[in-house]
Structure formats: C-alpha cells, structure tokens
Structure 1
Amino acid sequence: MNESYPKENLARKKVFRRLLSYTKPHKKQLAFAFLILFLATGADLLGPYIAKVFIDDYLTPRHFAWQSLTGLGIIFVLLYIGTALFHYLQIINFQTVALKIIQQLRVDVFNKVQHLGLSFFDKTPGGSLISRITNDTEAIKELFVTVLATLVQSSVMLIGIFIAMFALNVKVASFCLILLPLLFVLMYGYKKLSAVVFRTTREKLSQLNARLNESLQGMTIIQAMRQEKRLRKEFGKTNGEHNHASLKSIKLNSLLLRPAVQVLYVLGLVLVLGFFGVRSFDSVISIGVIYAFVNYLDRFFEPVNSMMQQLTHFQQATVSAERVFGLLDETEMAPTKIGNSASSIQEGKIEFKNVTFSYDGKTDVLKNISFVANPGETVALVGHTGSGKSSIINLLMRFYPIEKGDITIDGTSLKAFSDEELRKNIGLVLQDPFIFAGDVKSNIRLNNRNISDEQIVEAAKFVQADSFIEKLPKTYDEPIGERGSTFSSGQRQLLSFARTMAIDPRILVLDEATANVDTETEEAIQTALAKMREGRTTIAIAHRLSTIQDADQILVLHKGEIVERGTHQELLAFKGLYHKMYLLQQGEVAS
C-alpha cells in the first residue's frame, strides 16, 4: 500500500494537470475572474483593520471627530459593498468558464464513444458509459465552479491574514504559525483517506446506472419472465454497497472537516488570548489590536474550513476525471482506413481470402473463410446458431479489425476504403432494426442532406412502406417514440428497408431481414427484396431457407467453417447438412 500510494499520487497530479489544460482557451476570462477574486479578498481583509482604527483611535480615547468617523464609516460600508460585488462577479465568471469546460469535455467524451470499436461495447455496460458522460463530468464541473476559486481565494486570504497579523504583533503572529503544520497534517490525512472512499463511491454509482439501464432496456422480458424480484434484489445489493461507501464518506467528513478544524481554532484562540492576558500584567494592551487579532483568527479558520470542505469535491472531481480520461484514452477504436489511397467502390465484387477471426483472441469463430460474391450476385449464409454468419457480416461492415486473411471489394482491401466510402456503398438491414426518436422522415433520411423529400417517398414506395406511412395522421412527419415502440416490428423493418434504399447502395447486406415480419407483409417484402437485389451484390443471412432458394450461391457454415457451398438444387442433391436443415424446416411447415 505504501509503495503504491506515491504512484497513485503522481497519477492524480497528472490528471489534475490535464484538467487544467482545458482552461487554456479561457485564460483571459479566468485571469479577470482571479483579479476580481484578489480584489474581493483584499477588501474583505481591510474590514477588521478599519474596526481596529475605530476602536483604538476614536472609541477608547473617546475622541469623536464626526467628519473623520463619517469618512471611516463610508469607507467601511463601501468595502463591504465592494466585497459583495466582487464576489458576485468572480462567481459569474468562474461558473461561466466551468460550464464551457464541461460542455467541451462532454463533447470530447461523446465524440470518443462514437469512434470506439464494437469490441469495446461488447464488454462495457451502457449504464457505466452513461455514468461517465453525465455523473462524472458533473462532478468535474464542481472543480472549476467552486474548488479552484475557493482554494485560490482561501490561500490568498490566509496569506493576507498572516501579513495583517504580523503587522499588528510579530510575537503573537509567530505563535499562530504553530497551527500551520497541524493544518497540513490534517489536510494530507484527509486527502489520503478520502481518495479510496470516493473512488469506491463513484464505481458503485456507475454500477447502479448500469443496473438501471439494463432494467429499463429489458423491461418487457423482466415482466414477461417475472424477474422483478431478482432484479430488485440485485439492484438493492448494489444500492446497499453504494450507501455503505457513502456512509464511510460522511463519517470521514464528520470527523476530519469542521470538528477537527474547530479544535485547532480553539487552540489558536487560547494562544492569542493567553498571550495578551499575560502581557496585560506588565503593559497596556490595545483593545483594538485584541479585537483585530481575534477577528483575523476567526477569519483564518473560515478559509481553512472552506479548503477542507472543498477537498471533498476535489477528490470526487479527481476520481471522476480518472474515469473520464480513462475513457478518452481508450485505444480499442473502430477500424479505420489504412493508407492514403483514394479507393472507391465501383462494381461491388466481394472476396473473402482465408479469413480467420476471434472476438477474444482465444477462440476462433471463423476459420479460413474464402468465397467470392460477383457484382449483382446474391450469396446466402446459412447455418445453425453460432456458426459464424453474423461474424462474416461484422467483418464485411468493418465493425471489427481483420487479423488473419483479407477481404477485398473490387480487388481492393477493405482496409483501404474510407468510412464514408464504405457506409454510402454498403446498405445494412438488421433483423432487429434500430429506430431513432424523431419522425418517419428523419428516420429514413438519417440527417443525409443529399437525400431529398422526394427520394424519401420514392424509397418508401419502393419497399412498399408507403402503404402504412400514408395512413399515419401526419404521414412522413408522424412523431416516433424511443426505439419506435409505437410501431409494429414489421413497420420498423419496412422503415429500415426504406432507409437503406434511400442511399442507393451498390452492396446490400441482409441479416434475416424478414424474420420479424408477418406472412402477408413478408410476401410484399420478398417482392421488394427482389427489386432491391437487382444490380446489387447481396450478402444475406437466412434462417428460413425458403427465402434464399434463388440465391446464386449458398454457403453452409458449421462451427466457423464453410462445409458446403452451391445453389439450392445442388446442395439438396448433395444431401448434406443443408439437405437436413431443409427437410427439418419442411417438416415444421407441414406440421
């Protein structure tokens, strides 16, 4: 533990410096805010000194020069008005900068998440990511809103108080210096102990968000399978762990913040009053000096208390920043173009060359996959669950990097194409399409400004989605809720078809596109699919063999390998695995 702490401390300093780097674009506004802060602190420190002058020069000798007293009173009032104004201005400026910084930080994190590889999302809960983007950045905001300003203001206040105390009485001020080492020890101990507690608290909060996100996403299954009790138990356990960590934080704060500082304050007060009490036996003590010293001593512990309390936010912000920067530094990025060549897709010929792939680096889910899909041909992938069909599509879409073998389009390696070139020429239709909140038109266009309203209508008619869209109250402007929950699965699938056809891709990738469509709708969609495949290279995953009987080539996969290939009739004549699958499905249909 002792060896690891210096490393952790060094890491936190690095995180803190990185956080401060976000202030560079706002240097002028921050400099103005700090200037106002210094002025406010200086005005605040002059108050006790003016009170001392009033007591020693006017009140004690009963010398009431009304003109001088009036001037002194005006200065005193103006100081406090100025202090209030300066504090207002510095708070506005610090908070404005803080909000701008957090806005930029959230944009950076969100942008990073958009470019992470699917392999990262496979092992990272969505709720944990939401916690980092929202809760953790909110904790960081406190660092810029209050912590930095308070620490600087408190430090300036402490220095100013000691200067004023030494100006009043060097010996008493020297006695008060004894308190500084005690304060540093207290702050160091609090910082060391609280770091562990706050890291645990943030981690448990992240787990809570992950649990909550999972429950909300799977509410249908939870209720259908009567899993409410189990989920409540699991959520309650995580919530209890978070509560336990929060209680530790509360106990730590209750012991080492105000109570411990209050003890030091009483010690300082005893020193000051004891010193003046002893001195009073031998010489006259100025009441004004005593008042000023006690006032400054009281003000001395105000910033100390503030600094101790801000250490809580500082630790939370540092721990949160570690989590956010950990996400920003994530190296598991989505595969991108390699090289500077400006390759383009013209015909759409696809070739897999001895492709072997593993998700975890241990178990190969694809083994030496090789096949060619010529322009305009349809290649169907069939096989039992886990045979590797979806993995072939994932690699063709470049969702995962190709480690062994290669995939080419028109003779050019997949790695040589830009993301834009691939996405505009490969249309993907999934078994469970994702529908965004918005309206029908925006879900088909997907913010592609090159697609006009007329093209949207044409695409919808092409896939026969217009038959239900036209019946909606607002047709193409009909609002859609989250994930298109107000539409049937068939309607969502038709929208995804229209979305794909709107970009007019050269290559079509279908992942059992008719699986969630009723029989009547399927017949219409099969007609639309036939039109969609015309002139396009098509890779189609099929569970129902009846939907791919007209495919130019059918690949039968088993345990990550192509065990059979040919047309529908050729594979039936071969009487292998495909033949067995076909007879099984025919038997199900007949029954």
Structure 2
Amino acid sequence: MVIRRLLNYLRPHYKALGVALVVLFLATFADVVGPILVKVFLDRHLMPRSFNSQDLLLLGSGYLGLHLLSVGLNYYQLVSFNQIALKVIQQLRVDIFSHVQRLRLVVFDKTPAGALVSRITNDTEAIKELFVSVLATLVQNVVFLIGIFIAMFSMDARLAGFCLVLLPVLLGLMYMYRRLSTKVYRVMRKELSLLNAKLNESIQGMNLVQAMRQEERFRKEFNVINTAYYRAAINNIRLESLFVRPAVDLIYTFALILVLDFFGFQSLKGPIQIGVLYAFINYLDRFFEPVNMMMQKLSQIQQSLVAAERVFEILDDDRTTPVTVSAAPSPSIVEGRIEFKEVTFSYDGSADGGSDVLKKISFIAYPGQTVALVGHTGSGKSTVANLLMRFYPVTSGEILIDGVSLSEFSEDELRSRVGLVAQDPFLFVGDITQNIALSRPTVSKQDVEDAASFVQADGFLRKLPQGFAEPIGERGATLSSGQRQLLCFARTMAGNPKILVLDEATASVDTETEEGIQTALEKMRKGRTTIAIAHRLSTIQDADLILVLHNGMIVERGTHAELLVKEGLYHKMFMMQQGTAGQSRFPC
C-alpha cells in the first residue's frame, strides 16, 4: 500500500520515466554484451591461435565502443532517474506542508512541534533517498539481472537453470531481512522524532531552562532518548552485518562451486570452451554485484518505507479545519452580529459532558457593540474566541454571524472579515512592512503606514534605522513585547475587519504603553463588533456587555456598573485587582 502510494507520485513523469527506462535497457544491453565479445575472442581466436588482424580490430573496437556507449547511457539514465526522484520529493514535501497548514489546532495541541518538523524534514529526506539513490539503482540492477540470465541461457540452458534456483533463496533472504528490520526502523524513526521534539522544546525555552537551572534535567532526559536511539541503531547494524554482505557472499561461494563443479564434470566427458567458462564466471560475479548492491540498498528501502508510513499518517489525518461544503456562493459578513446559541465544546470531542470546556454558552453581540469575557484562568474565555475563529468545531449548539451559521462562510470571507489579536504577539522573519501586510493583495503600502499610525506604532517605527523596512528576526526577538503587540494591532487593522477578537490583547503591554493604546483600541472597536477577552478588568469597563465565565458557564452578565451592584464574582475579582493595584507586595 505504501509503495503503491509512493509510485503514484511518478504518474506525472511517466514520459520522462519511459525515456529513462529505454536508455537503461540500452545501457544494460551494452554492458551485458561485453563478456560475450570476450568469449568470442577466447574461443575463436586465442585457443585456436587464429589472430586475424581485421577480426581482432572489430572485436577490440566493438568492446571499447560498447563500454563507452554504456558509460554515456548510464550517465544519462542516472541523471534522468534522479531528476524525476527530486521532483517527486519536491511535490511530496509541498503536499505534506500544505496539509499541515490545514490541520485543526487540536493536532498541534497534542503533537510536539519537533515531532511534526521531524516528519516533514527527516522523514521526507529518507523518502528522497528511496527515489534518488534506491529506486534508480533497483531498476537498473533488476534490468541488469534479466540481461545476465538471458546471456546465460543463450550459452548453456542447464547451467543457467541451476543459477536460476538462487533467486528464491535470495528473495527469501530479502524477505527475512525486511521483516526483522521493519520493527527496528520504526523504533529508530520514533526515537529520532522524540529527539527533535526534546531539542525543539529546550531551545524554545532556553531562557527558562537556564534561569531555573534545569540544564542537568534536560541533559538526562535527552540522554535517555539518545540512548534508546543508539540501541535501535545498534540492532540495525547487527541485522545489516548478518544479512547484507556475509549471507550474500556465502550464497555466491556456493554458486561459484556449483559452476566450477559443472565445468569440471563436463571436462571429464570432453573438452570445454574456456570462453564459456570465463563468461559464466564473469556473469556470476556480475550477478552477485547488483544483488549485493540491492541488499545494501534494502536497509535504505526499509527506512524509506517506515518514513513514508509516518508521512502518510500526517497526510491521512482528516482533522482539517472545517470549511463550507455548500455549492452556493459563500454568504458575506455585512453587519457583524454574533450569536452563540447553547454552545457546548470539549477539546477531546466527547459528548458525555464530563470534559466540557464550555457548557451551553448563549449570548448576542450586536453590530458595533463590545462584549467582554472575563473569568479566572481555565474558565473558557479563549475557547470562545477559538470557536468564533472556527479553529475548532463546536460539540453541540450553534454559532451565527448575521443570522448565518458559521459553518456556511468560506475561509476567505471569515478570515478577512474577522480580525484576531492574540495574547502571544507572533511575528514572522522578514521586515516591518511584510509583517503588517502579510502579502494580502488588498493591503497596500499606504494601508500599512495608516494602520501603524492608527494604533500609534508609527512613533517607535520611525526611530528604527530602516523604518518600515527594518528586518525582524525569528518571533521578533529584537523588539520589546509591547512593540510586538502594537505591530500585531496594526496587522489586524490593515485588513479592516468587520469583527474584532481581542484575546487578552494588552497582556504583553506594559502599563505606560497600555495607556497609550487605549485610545487606539477605542477607535478600533468603533463601528465593529468586538469580542474582548480581558484579564485586566480596567481595560473593559466601558464594554456594552460583560460576561463572567466560571467553569465553562456564564454565571453573570451586565455592564460594569450593573455587575458591581450585584456584588458577585465580578465584584470580587474587581476588588481584588483594585487592592493589588493599590498596595505594594514589598513594603519598605
């Protein structure tokens, strides 16, 4: 099944593959005919001592010509096979990368980033070896073996028949090696994936590792995984040492004894042709040379097949982001009216209610209104935003925008009309302009500058050496957290969304910067339906509706003043924050 799927990638290249195969057959023919010319020289000229200069010249020039032709044709077919192989791997990497981008966030929640990177890079690299160095070699050697058997049968059918018996023995050897090595390679690929995951985790959190003096713990954990990989690699080496060369050499020795015995018994009955003896021994040696090569490549084949299984596991993962399946044109978001109707959600998809993160959430956010979500950590605030962005499908209930089910909107419409500012300000490698525009065709350079000015980010941008062309490193490490968040504000506003989702958007902004962007936030919310998730209650006091979540349920709702009068959970949270703000934890 895996091999069939891999070979399906060759379909677009069948013409080039056909030409390469024809050239391969010609190269094999030229290579196989060489020993026959040597046989003719031995039997017709050397043994009878008949040295006709014209015949010798023809044999010599023919042998040299065939050798040169074989070299040229083999060069062409090897280059052709490798070009096809590289194109196949190029397409396979595009397919898996594109599929990973369509996966739901739940996949990334449960799968270490390093493990996914390992499948996209290391595993596809192993598959590349199958197409680049294994497939071409395998096809060439199979054709070469067929040519050798044809030449053997043309000289002596009985002896060639004896040699044909070796094929089941060699195939049985390959089958045993494949069965034993598959388990070993699965362990190797798994441990390599865990190595990448641990490495990625330690590098991403290196500041915390060093600050908390966790170097020794991470070193020990890495060593445990590395040792498991080492043991699997040793098991693989033992298998290769037993099956690949020694076993084949043993079979070759028995075959050579068989050929020599055959000609020995033949010599007792009468004279034998030295040329035929030479040709058979030469072909026998040439027969086992590709067999040895294929046995050596068999380890790469096994690694590639195991790697392909892991890659196809990702490609077969159907947990993709939900998209509209309606044949009708996608509706448009015009007003921005949001309605949650009895929405229940569980991250594990269970319907038993025991692991529900949200439980029958219902509210309406009218066009132009700001609805704030507050609550303790784990109450389900960010989950509401994730469901609205359609990162996860609801377990039960329904989400409507302008009276239309969320599932009916196209990805383009939803992503372009709903703007998200996440708690973690993520920036891509590039420059300031690229990070704000994100290659959106509707966002011009002027839109980028206007958006930066709108959120009051142009002040610090103008001070940068290259302004809007200032390069940004990975995750914007050269900028402060507040500056990164301002760029994310500008990025969202450059798209001019109708609905705004602020997921603790000021969490990474210091108090001084926060005061400076409150005016920008007010402008951003004006004319837009806004869902604001907040930890600092001071930032959402002017919200039209505040929903207080607790254990996945809305326990209070109202304006800031109304909730304070109720003296419930919101009042308690507000008084705690006021007390924290007014008192110092470290009095002099």
- TM-score class, shorter-chain normalisation, is over 0.9
> In the TM superposition, what whole-angstrom CA distance separates every residue of 1:315-360 from its partner, at most 9, and x where no partner exists?
1121111111111111111121242353111111111111111111
Q: Give the corresponding residue for 1:394.
A: 386
Q: Give the corresponding residue for 1:410.
A: 402
Structure 1 residue 584 corresponds to structure 2 residue 576: yes
Q: Which runs of 5+ in 1 are unaligned?
A: 1-13
- Do the aligned residues in 1 keep the contact of 2:347 with 2:356 (CA within 8 Å)? yes
> In the TM superposition, what whole-angstrom CA distance separates every residue of 1:37-65 from its partner, at most 9, and x where no partner exists?
11111111111111111111111222111
Residue 238 of structure 1 and its aligned partner are, at CA, apart by 0.9
Residue 147 of structure 1 and its aligned partner are, at CA, apart by 2.2
Partner residue of 1:55 out of 42, 59, 67 = 42
Instruction: Give aligned pairs, total.
Output: 578
Q: Give the corresponding residue for 2:157.
A: 170
Amino acid at match of 2:415: R
Equivalent residue runs for 1:127-166 within 5 Å:
127-166=114-153
Residue 290 of structure 1 and its aligned partner are, at CA, apart by 1.2
Residue 251 of structure 1 and its aligned partner are, at CA, apart by 0.8
- Do the aligned residues in 2 keep the contact of 1:341 with 1:416 (CA within 8 Å)? no
Structure 1 residue 547 corresponds to structure 2 residue 535: no
Q: Give the corresponding residue for 1:342.
A: 330
Structure 1 residue 370 corresponds to structure 2 residue 362: yes
Q: What SS does structure 2 have at the residue aligned with 1:375?
A: coil
Structure 1 residue 471 corresponds to structure 2 residue 463: yes
Scaled by the length of structure 2, the TM-score of the pair is 0.96
Q: Give the corresponding residue for 1:357.
A: 345
Q: Which stretch shifts more, 148-157 or 423-432? A: 148-157
Structure 1 residue 72 corresponds to structure 2 residue 64: no
Structure 1 residue 559 corresponds to structure 2 residue 543: no
Identity of aligned residues (%): 61
Structure 1 residue 20 corresponds to structure 2 residue 12: no
Amino acid at match of 1:274: D
Question: In structure 2, how many angstroms separate the alpha carbons of the residues matched to 1:418 and 1:166?
Answer: 66
> In the TM superposition, what whole-angstrom CA distance separates every residue of 1:244-302 from its partner, at most 9, and x where no partner exists?
11111111111101111101111111111122122223311222111111111111101
Question: In structure 2, how many angstroms separate the alpha carbons of the residues matched to 1:304 and 1:582?
Answer: 78
Q: Which stretch shifts more, 434-443 or 396-405? A: 396-405
Question: In structure 2, how many angstroms separate the alpha carbons of the residues matched to 1:171 and 1:228?
Answer: 70
Question: In structure 1, how many angstroms separate the alpha carbons of the residues matched to 2:448 and 2:72?
Answer: 58
Residue 226 of structure 1 and its aligned partner are, at CA, apart by 1.4
Partner residue of 1:118 out of 105, 109, 112 = 105
Structure 1 segments, 4+ long, off by >4 Å, are none
Structure 1 residue 304 corresponds to structure 2 residue 291: yes
Question: In structure 1, how many angstroms separate the alpha carbons of the residues matched to 2:402 and 2:167?
Answer: 74
Question: In structure 2, how many angstroms separate the alpha carbons of the residues matched to 1:21 and 1:182?
Answer: 30
Q: What SS does structure 2 have at the residue aligned with 1:565?
A: strand
- Do the aligned residues in 2 keep the contact of 1:427 with 1:507 (CA within 8 Å)? yes
- Do the aligned residues in 1 keep the contact of 2:422 with 2:505 (CA within 8 Å)? yes
Scaled by the length of structure 1, the TM-score of the pair is 0.96
Question: In structure 2, how many angstroms separate the alpha carbons of the residues matched to 1:146 and 1:582?
Answer: 67
- Do the aligned residues in 2 keep the contact of 1:507 with 1:538 (CA within 8 Å)? yes
Partner residue of 1:499 out of 491, 500, 505 = 491
Amino acid at match of 1:16: I
Question: In structure 2, how many angstroms separate the alpha carbons of the residues matched to 1:174 and 1:215?
Answer: 61
Q: Give the corresponding residue for 1:9.
A: none
- Cα distance change of structure 1 residues 168 and 342 upon mapping to structure 2, 3 Å threshold: closer
Q: Which stretch shifts more, 319-328 or 484-493? A: 319-328
Question: In structure 2, how many angstroms separate the alpha carbons of the residues matched to 1:510 and 1:276?
Answer: 88
Question: In structure 1, how many angstroms separate the alpha carbons of the residues matched to 2:537 and 2:146?
Answer: 82
- Do the aligned residues in 1 keep the contact of 2:82 with 2:136 (CA within 8 Å)? no
- Do the aligned residues in 1 keep the contact of 2:534 with 2:540 (CA within 8 Å)? yes
Question: In structure 2, how many angstroms separate the alpha carbons of the residues matched to 1:374 and 1:394?
Answer: 19
Question: In structure 2, how many angstroms separate the alpha carbons of the residues matched to 1:286 and 1:319?
Answer: 49
RMSD: 1.2
Q: Give the corresponding residue for 2:586.
A: none
Q: Give the corresponding residue for 1:81.
A: 68
Structure 1 residue 213 corresponds to structure 2 residue 206: no
Q: What SS does structure 2 have at the residue aligned with 1:280?
A: helix
Q: What SS does structure 1 have at the residue aligned with 2:362?
A: strand
Structure 1 residue 450 corresponds to structure 2 residue 442: yes
Question: In structure 2, how many angstroms separate the alpha carbons of the residues matched to 1:222 and 1:78?
Answer: 67
Amino acid at match of 1:499: R
Q: Which runs of 5+ in 2 are unaligned?
A: 584-588
Amino acid at match of 1:578: Y
Q: Which stretch shifts more, 330-339 or 297-306? A: 330-339
Q: What SS does structure 2 have at the residue aligned with 1:140?
A: helix
Residue 138 of structure 1 and its aligned partner are, at CA, apart by 1.3
Q: Which stretch shifts more, 147-156 or 452-461? A: 147-156
Structure 1 residue 277 corresponds to structure 2 residue 269: no
Q: What SS does structure 2 have at the residue aligned with 1:172?
A: helix
Q: What SS does structure 2 have at the residue aligned with 1:540?
A: strand
Q: What SS does structure 2 have at the residue aligned with 1:546?
A: helix
